[in-house]
Amino acid sequence: MVFKSIRGTKDILPGESDRWLEVESTVRRVFRRFNYKEIRTPLFEQTALFSRSIGALTDIVGKEMYTFTDRGEESLTLRPEGTASVIRSYIQNNLGEAQPLVKVYYLGPMFRQERPQAGRLRQFHQFGAEAIGSPRPETDAEIIALTIQIYRELSITRYDLKINSVGCERCRPRYREVLTSELRKIAGSLSPDSQRRIAENPMRVLDSKDEKDQSLTAQLPLITDYLCEECRSHFEGLKSALAALRIPFRIDGRLVRGLDYYTKTAFELTSTELGSQDALAGGGRYDLLTAELGGKQTPAVGFAAGIERLLMVLEKIKGAGDTGGQPALYLAAADAESREWVLAQTMELRGEGVWVESDLLGRSLKAQMRDADRQGVRAVLVVGQKELQSGKGSLKNMMNGESKEVQLSALQQLFAKAL
């Protein structure tokens, strides 16, 4: 029996993991600078946490969750996203007690049983942040600026930022009524998915990817025309904060996103470098979620971004390949008697912080040299009885082919300096 990984999951192989580390460390660095602290929540939670938060009628809850019953007969679900777990933890641990605005970030795997394709996996990875406790649009602007800063630091500067306001519990019902009655008039011509959504979530019909749906709904009223005074002025506040931050954006009255917890701000960042799964990141405000999950009503806003999609863009602009660098030094043993010295010296240099490699397969000197070459090491030192007796050896710079004589006892100094 030969085992294979599950459809929609991927191994991150040794050559690729360096780029992951690079992305993760950039992400963490930017989060820190924006003063967001990491929160780590479990990978699985009670199923009801997600259905309550994301919405029972969404695609995620309706058909994409990995849900199972454990031996205690409890229904559990692998997290399809991070926000619900963060708010659960915020309430459970009284995080709001110590400070009025709690700024947290997370980074890790999420699980959705979608149809796998380029940029869409069943186990994928997100980084995201939540700012919990502020109703002000400057907070939404900070979240958007944070998202963009991360891409900027990774040299991704071509993206499209779309923003919208999806209203609140006061203005949305009236808009939904108007929209539903308009949609009913054209229902027969809409795609089956959109027909179903008229009753479940009419705003998502406007978000349909189906071209015929798009042209049929092109003239329908948009939520932005129905916002209450509070939502309208919040949206104005966001637009002017983004302008002050010199962040270009496009207003898209059709943007509603696939999670039901949003109120007021919704936004999405898309990349022209990606195909049909072009959403790099998305987020928005969710002022009612904390109360919905049993906590005190607390305004909040956040975002999440897919790492696999970000890496696809990076590969397009920078090319594939190993970005992890190479060992600084390869110590090659010229004869069997020198192997022990090489082993000990390798460990000693590593202890000093030098990235050094030597042979563990008992290979001939020629094979060791080939290995050093394959690994792309920057310098090679061959050590045999002659070198051990004289205390000197010839260090070959593999970048330019030059050799120079060095004291064996000075290796530490030589390479520590290069660090």
Interacting residue ranges for ligand HAM, rule: CB under 6 A: 81-83, 112, 114, 119-121, 124, 126, 128, 130, 258-259, 279-284, 286, 302-306, 308-309
Nearest Cα neighbor of 228 from 158, 304, 168 is 168
Rounded Cα distance, 400 and 90, in Å? 56
Beta strands in 317-391 (DSSP E): 329-333, 356-358, 379-383
DSSP state of 70: -
Q: Report CA dihedral (14, 307, 301, 295) to the nearest 10 degrees.
A: -50
Identify which of residues 202 and 284 has a Cβ nearer to ligand HAM in the complex: 284
Indicate the helix (H) or strand (E) that contains 141.
helix 137-153
User: Where does 2-106 have alpha helices with state H?
Assistant: 14-33, 47-54, 59, 83-92, 95-98
**Shortest distance, position 84 Cβ to ligand HAM, whole Å:** 8
DSSP state of 169: T
Identify which of residues 131 and 411 has a Cβ nearer to ligand HAM in the complex: 131
Identify which of residues 4 and 115 has a Cβ nearer to ligand HAM in the complex: 115
Mode of pairing for the β-strands spanning 279-285 and 160-165? unpaired
**Shortest distance, position 411 Cβ to ligand HAM, whole Å:** 46
Identify which of residues 268 and 359 has a Cβ nearer to ligand HAM in the complex: 268
**Shortest distance, position 212 Cβ to ligand HAM, whole Å:** 25
**Shortest distance, position 88 Cβ to ligand HAM, whole Å:** 13
Identify which of residues 38 and 337 has a Cβ nearer to ligand HAM in the complex: 38
**Shortest distance, position 291 Cβ to ligand HAM, whole Å:** 16
Residue pair 318/310 in contact by the 8 Å Cβ criterion? no
Rounded Cα distance, 165 and 57, in Å? 21
DSSP state of 202: G
Polymer length of the chain:
419
Identify which of residues 105 and 330 has a Cβ nearer to ligand HAM in the complex: 105
Encoded tokens for 10: 């991927």
**Shortest distance, position 42 Cβ to ligand HAM, whole Å:** 16
Identify which of residues 234 and 396 has a Cβ nearer to ligand HAM in the complex: 234
**Shortest distance, position 362 Cβ to ligand HAM, whole Å:** 44
Cβ-closest position to ligand HAM:
306
**Shortest distance, position 368 Cβ to ligand HAM, whole Å:** 42
Identify which of residues 307 and 356 has a Cβ nearer to ligand HAM in the complex: 307
**Shortest distance, position 196 Cβ to ligand HAM, whole Å:** 20
* Sign of the CA dihedral running 107, 111, 112, 115: positive
Q: How far, CA to CA in Å, does 160 sit from each of 137, 270, 407?
A: 20, 5, 57
Identify which of residues 54 and 381 has a Cβ nearer to ligand HAM in the complex: 54
Rounded Cα distance, 128 and 83, in Å? 9
Burial of 197 (0-12, 13-18, 19+ CB in 10 A): buried
